[in-house]
Amino acid sequence: MRQEVVLAMLAKEPSHGYELRARLRDALGPLGEGMNAGQIYVTLTRLEKAGLLVVEVDDRPANETREGKGDRPANETREGKGDRPASETQEGKGDRPANETQERRGDRGDRGDRKVYSLTAEGQQRVAEWISEVAWPRPDLAEFHLKLVAAAAAGLADPLTVVDTQRRELLRRLRDAQRAVLAEPAGSRAALLLEGVVLRLQADLHWLEVCDRHWTQRRSGS
C-alpha cells in the first residue's frame, strides 16, 4: 500500500492506528480483509520518521477513550448479565469461527494504542500532490511482453503457453471480483472499487487475446 494512501486517510482528522485501519477496511470492503495491521503501523512509523506525521499520546483515562463505559454502573454495563443463563451471555461464542474471534481480540488490542497520528505541513503537501496525480497504475505490460519475446527467442517456453497460463489466472481473478461485486449491498462504496477491478481485468484479458493472435501468426509464418 502506498504511503500516500495512509497519509490521505489521516487528512480529515488525527486518528489512532485502529481508527485508521477501520477506515481503510470500510473503504476497501472485501479487498481489505487480508490487510496486515502490523504493516500499517510500520508505515506510520516510517512516515513519522520522514517528518510527514506527528504523534501525540492520548492522555485521557481509559474509561473516557472507551466512550465513558467506566462511568456507567456495573449493572448497566453488563446489561443484566447476571440474570441471564450462561448460554445466553456467551451469545453462541463457541459457534464463532476462530478467525472471527481472533479478529475481534486483535481489534481490542489495537485500542490499547494511545498514539494519535496527524499530518505535518509536509504531509499535507504530499497528499495534495498525490491527489493531483493523473498516473494510472497498471500491470507491467512491458515486462510481460519482454517475457514472451525472450521465451520465444531462447526457446525457454512457448509464448502461447505463457499467454494461456496468464489468461487462466486473470479469469480466476475476474470471477472472484465479479462474485465480490454481487455480494456487496446496494449503495456500497466498495462496490464501485470492485467494479473498477472487474473492468481492468477485462481490459487485460483483451490485451492477452491480442498477444495470442500475434504469436499464433508468428508461428504460422503469416
Q: For the segment 170-199, what is each residue's pLDDT rounded down to a tens digit?
A: 999 999 999 999 999 988 999 999 999 999
pLDDT of residue 163: 95
Angle between helical axes of 17-28 and 37-49 (0-180°, round to 10): 120
pLDDT of residue 59: 74
pTM for the model: 0.62
Is the pLDDT confidence value at 85 over 70? no
User: Could you give the dihedral angle defined by the CA atoms of residues 89, 95, 98 and 104, in that order, rounded to the nearest 10 degrees?
Assistant: -30
Average pLDDT, stretch 147-151? 93
Per DSSP, what are the bridge partners of residue 118? 54
Q: For the segment 23-36, what is each residue's pLDDT rounded down to a tens digit?
A: 898 888 888 888 88
Q: Which residues contact 106 (CB under 8 A, 6 or more apart)?
A: 37
> Among 55-59, 69-73, 122-126, where is mean pLDDT lowest?
69-73
Q: For the segment 89-143, what is each residue's pLDDT rounded down to a tens digit?
A: 444 445 544 444 444 444 444 555 789 999 999 999 999 899 888 776 677 888 9
pLDDT of residue 210: 97
pLDDT of residue 222: 64
